[in-house]
Amino acid sequence: MKISLSKTAIATILIVVAIAICASLGVFLYKKTFLEDEIKIVKTEEKSSYEIIGKSVQNRNIDSYSYGNGSKNILFVGGIHGGYEWNSVLLAYKFIEFLNSNKDIIPSDIKVTIIPNANPDALYKIIPKTGILSISDTPTSTKQEQEIARFNANNVDLNRNFDCKWKPESTWRGKKVSAGSKAFSEPEAQAIKGYVEKNKPVAAIFWHSQSNAVYASECNNGILPETINIMNTYSFASGYSPVRTFDSYEITGDAEGWLASINIPAITVELKTHETIEWERNLAGFKAILEYYSK
């Protein structure tokens, strides 16, 4: 039996078939896109281990990013002086960006942790942005405004709030500054303390500015021998001058000194200016520290 279809019927059938094909293609593309997005999310999460280690006075996150699974954890910290040393925060985020794409440079026995912004409220005064920062996020504020942004929201100098020779008042360039009501009175200092006590890093490197040098740390028992080793290691690779003792004025309650008091070697890397991150120099110093601890 021969079936004859009108032109209208044929057109209707073709339209139905076309709709079915488009629907199937749409489902395929949706699934493909969804799966690709899932893969991207997984890859992003694999780049680092992200943790909020504490909150600031004004409830901003204090973040840490960890790379590698080794037993020797090396801690790097930026921004403890907030907006006054904003370039140390940008340097820390530059390292995070670098490690997201180059995590293979971390030896198998090493873990690297970066706390990019230890004083987020103070930095926010100069760069009113939360989350990850980039090199383009440079402030346009005056020098005086940046100096005021050195302190946290309680007007405490955080690098005078740690338990090493702590006093309620300390000094900065001959000026009296508040060190808080007691050692670790500030939530930002508590966050670093909590991280250190929980994770027990083998060493800590703090990025500051602007003395163009690497300083050793000490407390009541003097400089740890290991501190001299990592100071010289970073200094030789980066070109920053090594300085065993800071003697321009008395400093009490600094984070590096507290670490020395609990037998964790710590150094202070002072960038040359307040405006640059000196990437190549610090990358060389960073790699040298990894190599030193991977021996």
What is the rounded (10 degree) CA torsion for 120, 88, 215, 153?
A: -20
Structure tokens given for 179? 């060190």
Sequence-distant (6+) residues with CB within 8 A of 210 are: 85, 270, 271, 272, 273, 274
Residue 243 burial (CB < 10 Å; 0-12/13-18/19+)? middle
What is the reported pLDDT for 140? 87
Task: Please give the C-alpha separations between residue 137 and each of 94, 98, 121, in angstroms, as whole numbers.
Answer: 12, 17, 16
Domain 49-293, CATH number (from 1.10.150.310, 3.40.630.10, 3.10.180.10, 3.30.70.1450): 3.40.630.10
Question: How far does the chain reach from its first CA to its final CA, in angstroms?
Answer: 88
What is the reported pLDDT for 169? 94
Please report, as a single letter, which amino acid is at residue 24.
S
4: confidence class by pLDDT, cuts 50, 70, 90: low
Residue with tokens 């946290």: 152
Residue 89 burial (CB < 10 Å; 0-12/13-18/19+)? buried
Tens of pLDDT along 69-94? 999 999 999 999 999 999 999 999 99
Nearest to 73 by CA among 115, 110, 116: 110
Contacts 24+ apart (CB under 8 A), 44-53: 47/99, 47/100, 47/103, 48/96, 48/99, 48/100, 48/103, 53/115, 53/191, 53/192, 53/194, 53/195
37: confidence class by pLDDT, cuts 50, 70, 90: very low
Structure tokens given for 14? 């073709």
pLDDT of 1 strictly over 70? no
Write down the pTM of the prediction: 0.84
pLDDT of 21 strictly over 70? no
Nearest-angstrom CA–CA distance, 151 and 80: 9
- Other C-beta atoms closer than 10 Å to the C-beta of 163 total 17
14: confidence class by pLDDT, cuts 50, 70, 90: low
Domains of the chain, by residue range, sit at 1-47, 49-293
pLDDT of 185 strictly over 70? yes
What is the reported pLDDT for 97? 97
